[in-house]
Amino acid sequence: MKEINPEEFPRNLTMEDIDLLADLIIENPVSEKWKRIAGKLTSEQKIRINKRVEIKSYYKTEALPSFNKKSIDDETWKDLKELNERVNFYGNMGEPTTPSEFKAKYGVWPSKE
C-alpha cells in the first residue's frame, strides 16, 4: 500500500490519493498523520475525501445481513396481525360461582335465564 507523507501537501489529489486518505480516515480518524494532512488540505479536497469515505462505508453496511433481509409476505403479515388482535380469555376470575356469592356481590339474586 502506498504511503502518504504529510510534508508533500498541499498538492493536487488524484483519485488514488483520495482513496488512500479515505482509508486512513476509516482506519483511524484521529491519527496524528491525518491531523497533519487535514491541516494542509483545502475544503474542496476534504469534501471529496469525505464523499469517498461515505461511499466506502455504504458498501460495508450493504454487506450486513439485516440490509438484505427479505420482507414479510402478505399472508404471514395477516396471520401475525390476527394473532396480535385476538382477545385472550383468562376465565371468570373474581366472578361469583354460586347464586349466594352472586347475591353477596351484587345485592340481587341472579335471573333464572
Distance CA(54)–CA(97), nearest Å, equals 69
Cell triple for 72: 414479510
In the chain, % of residues over pLDDT 90: 4
Average pLDDT, the chain: 79
Residue 1 pLDDT more than 60? no
- CA distances 19 to 35, 40, 41, 47, 66, Å, are 17, 17, 15, 13, 27
pLDDT at residue number 23: 84
Domain boundaries defined on the chain: 6-62
Backbone angles phi, psi at 99, to 5 degrees: -60, -35
pLDDT at residue number 108: 92
Distance CA(49)–CA(97), nearest Å, equals 77
pLDDT tens digits, 11-54: 678 888 888 888 888 887 777 887 888 888 888 888 888 888 88
Mean pLDDT to the nearest integer, 72-88: 83
Distance CA(21)–CA(77), nearest Å, equals 46
- What is the model's pTM? 0.48
